[in-house]
Chain A
Amino acid sequence: MASYIIKNIPFEDSKMASSIPVKEKKLMEVKVGELPGWILMRDFTPKGIAGAFQRGYYRYYNKYINVKEGGVAGISMVLVAYVLFNYCHSYKELTHERLHKYH
């Protein structure tokens, strides 16, 4: 509530930046010096992590799939990410299949 009031007063941005508490800022508005503090203040409880996954899922879902004219891109990005995840996981076994003289 306080940050809402402070944001609507017509000041310059640089003067306002330090009046909003670090915890409530979005990532793009946090200054580099404040980054460690911002990361430490995030919610790392199981409920917080589940909330983060849920927010991320709905952000992707509502942007690419839950639209009026969704295409094949929405689901194929998920499949490509799945392939890349499996590739990273089996990288160690795949290094044996390279065409080298000595492994």
Chain B
Amino acid sequence: MNENLFASFAAPSMMGLPIVVLIVMFPSVLFPTPSRLINNRLISIQQWLIQLTSKQMLAIHNQKGQTWALMLMSLILFISSTNLLGLLPHSFTPTTQLSMNLGMAIPLWAGTVITGFRYKTKASLAHFLPQGTPLPLIPMLVVIETISLLIQPMALAVRLTANITAGHLLIHLIGGATLALINISATTAFITFIILILLTILEFAVALIQAYVFTLLVSLYLHDNT
């Protein structure tokens, strides 16, 4: 059972060809391009959702920060769609791979930091020291702030990976437990099934929330630095 538990997290490849590329590109099929003023229902719903999200997310930024609108919206769209598709049975979720999340987190975080250092050097360096610290504490605090800055991309990537992977693993385990308990005691199996249903609802929420949190934090880092 141990090997089976983690087999669903291995990158899928058919005859040596990595079809993980196909699976990463699959969500784009579900978002058609709008070509008219009034589109079909699928596109209208997606447009409405994107407008709702983008207005809220970009409200806190100034002119310079709002040039990142496309990046942030495509980020939240990609993460939420891949997470939600991963909840379908037997499917592979690319966001469970740490490599991919690092690939998303590090360039975005580095972009915000470098933007801050380029355009507002003094203000960016001033972030390393909170206001009103007593004089003897300054060296230690600078070190602590530097570490907390450098850990931001790692935290972004590991947070997303761990949450989604843990959720999928729990669903696998509890589903297996329910099946195993059916022959032993029907009521316990029923209770476990209820737990499974609640967990699935939680996973839907987590899928969306994680996308939101990722994007929100990137936008927060951006706000600090523009």
Contacts and interface: CB of A to CB of B under 8 A. Distances in A.
- Most B CB within 10 A of own CB, among A79, A87, A89: A89
SS of A interface (majority): helix
Given A61-B32, A65-B40, A66-B40, A97 B90 contact: no
Interface stretch (B6-14, B152-160, B206-214): B6-14
Interface string A56-82: 000001000111111000110011001
A78 B90 contact: no
A82 B32 contact: no
Interface residues of B, number: 19
B59 interface: no
Contacts of A93: 4, 7-8
A54 interface: no
Contacts of A89: 12, 14, 19
Contacts, number: 48
Contacts of A45: none
Contact of B32 (A65, A69, A86, A97): A65
A93 B1 CA distance: 11
A86 B41 contact: no
B202 interface: no
A70 B90 contact: no
Interface of B: 4, 7-8, 12, 14, 19, 26, 29-30, 32, 40-42, 85, 88-92
